[in-house]
Structure 1
């Protein structure tokens, strides 16, 4: 049994959350809490290359490590671990628990290594938290994990950063599509990486037409990696053509979301990015539990939860999709109208 570390000895701390977008963004409140508890500590964040620019200007983060190697590269793990060992970390916190983060934690040389207590790679850690077994908002779970090192408190404000150049690029793009006219901009994220979370394409198309027709909205579809064909398929079903966004860097996309009046999507990473930049959201929940993934007590962010006796199941695939089939287009439109009227 390991005793708790002395907080005064925690001068250099590394937090690991390599992926995915939503999980990375939901880790940012941890840095706010760490900064309050340890104002003199050097706080570092390790994540995958695409997400690193979103974190580099955050006030509580002193350094961002962008991990460049594929998960299959053991040589990459050992090469990166050598760089981490030179930092002489006192504490490493791994919120992911998969093979590469576990190896990096173990090889970091840190005296204290904190991980989730229910992961298979317990050999990598000497401190554990069971906070991820609760049904609390995931950002709260991550903060509660710090109780394992004697840090109390909760933070729920997620955040990302983007540059003035990113914001100018997004504004220029919008002006080219609005002609300077005042119209509410609504972003739709129509593709889910998990089949069981995928709302029907014809319903997204119908929603697009109603938002554009009844609410005079400029409706945009964002396109993630590998989503071009699916997004194009949904766009072809629309009677009113949506604006298909370019494949911007995530910082430019975050700036664009900050200019939107509303974002509508499945429960996915883009939703959390919209929350982080202060844009109201409507999230369509199929198999996932909104208590885990919806910020509590925030009226700017609404959840539409399909009714099904098996909800929540968190399955990756489903032959029925009863929960998502229960979500009607008119119900989502009504919520969107209410948001825009505020």
Structure 2
């Protein structure tokens, strides 16, 4: 379910809310089981959310080293789910197919299921229908989705999503102190040929966000070209990263960069996030709008600059050992909490991020060793 789609959100609210709350009326809240042998976890299908969720998944792995942990994921976040540590297996479901999804979940016979999604009623509904002996999830203000859980934790808009995930692990009723706080991490396969191995200096630009309002999180082409001119070296190759669906937009931009005397080519990973992660780690800098690839680069330890614009840095900013977050110079933006709260005049925000700010941020991450 795309959080950028207004139609999906409307259906989720007006259909999901009454169904979910009606079902929750007829059940009692249960106590945590004394033994956890089969544990299910589920998070938002967004790629960035899934990468940030890896910290909480490792925490649960540390708390239950002998349990079989199943990561319930969707087609949209499978590429991210495949490279985060902690789960023994991944169970692929479709959020819009209850007839197929509910039997899959019930067949797992979970002792407990923890739902890390924050606003979807569908994931709360599936948790309720999963047959798990115990379920926990978020109580998010205004979402009316939490009555069916056995235990809830508050999902807050004043802290980073990593901290929200940790709050659910600590409040789900399954984990007791002492507690291990992990950072988001990746499972990386370093084998196989390395693209651009002969290039001495790589910089990656990721121009494209995802979702219905993705254009409101994108920066003007002229700004990207000015930034490239400022940070290029004679030997630099700029990579314009994106998925297969971005080729139509990437090719004109690559042509414009080359016409400006900046050596540039597009790069589409042949295997999802695996090879892309290896390439990003080799880069002198990765500059990206706030989207899943930005989080991938940051978690992988690449020198990462996030152009946040409407996305709130305190909620969804880059987190990693070598990161810099850039906000609009006029103090605007920073209002996205769950991912769809675009207010008045949202097109005003990204143009307020100055090229000089991005240049300074690149110098900052370059200096961190």
Displacement of 1:241 in angstroms is 4.1
Displacement of 1:331 in angstroms is 2.7
| Structure 2 counterpart of 1:237 | 256
| Structure 1 counterpart of 2:200 | 182
Please give the alpha-carbon distance, in whole angstroms, between the structure 1 residues aligned to 2:242 and 2:200: 25
* 1:101 matched to 2:93: no
Displacement of 1:205 in angstroms is 2.1
* 1:330 matched to 2:356: yes
Post-superposition Cα deviations, 1:130-174, rounded to whole Å, max 9, x if no partner, equal 1x2142221121011121315254635112224344xx34x1x20
TM-score with structure 2 setting the length: 0.78
Q: Which sections of structure 1, spanning at least 5 residues, go unmatched?
A: none
Of stretches 276-285 and 102-111 in structure 1, the one that deviates more from structure 2 is 102-111
> Where does 1:56-205 land on structure 2 (aligned, <5 Å)?
56=82, 59-67=85-93, 69=94, 71-72=95-96, 74=97, 77-96=98-117, 97-118=119-140, 119-122=143-146, 124-130=148-154, 132-146=155-169, 147-151=171-175, 153=179, 155-165=181-191, 168-169=192-193, 171=194, 173-175=195-197, 180-183=198-201, 185-193=202-210, 194-205=214-225
| Structure 2 counterpart of 1:12 | 38
Q: Which sections of structure 2, spanning at least 5 residues, go unmatched?
A: 1-27
SS in structure 2 of the partner of residue 283 of structure 1: strand
> Where does 1:301-316 land on structure 2 (aligned, <5 Å)?
301-308=323-330, 310-314=332-336, 315-316=341-342
Q: CA RMSD in A?
A: 2.6
**Total equivalences in the alignment:** 324
Displacement of 1:230 in angstroms is 2.5
Please give the alpha-carbon distance, in whole angstroms, between the structure 1 residues aligned to 2:206 and 2:80: 19
Please give the alpha-carbon distance, in whole angstroms, between the structure 2 residues aligned to 1:103 and 1:49: 19
Please give the alpha-carbon distance, in whole angstroms, between the structure 1 residues aligned to 2:56 and 2:274: 21
Displacement of 1:190 in angstroms is 0.7
Displacement of 1:26 in angstroms is 0.9
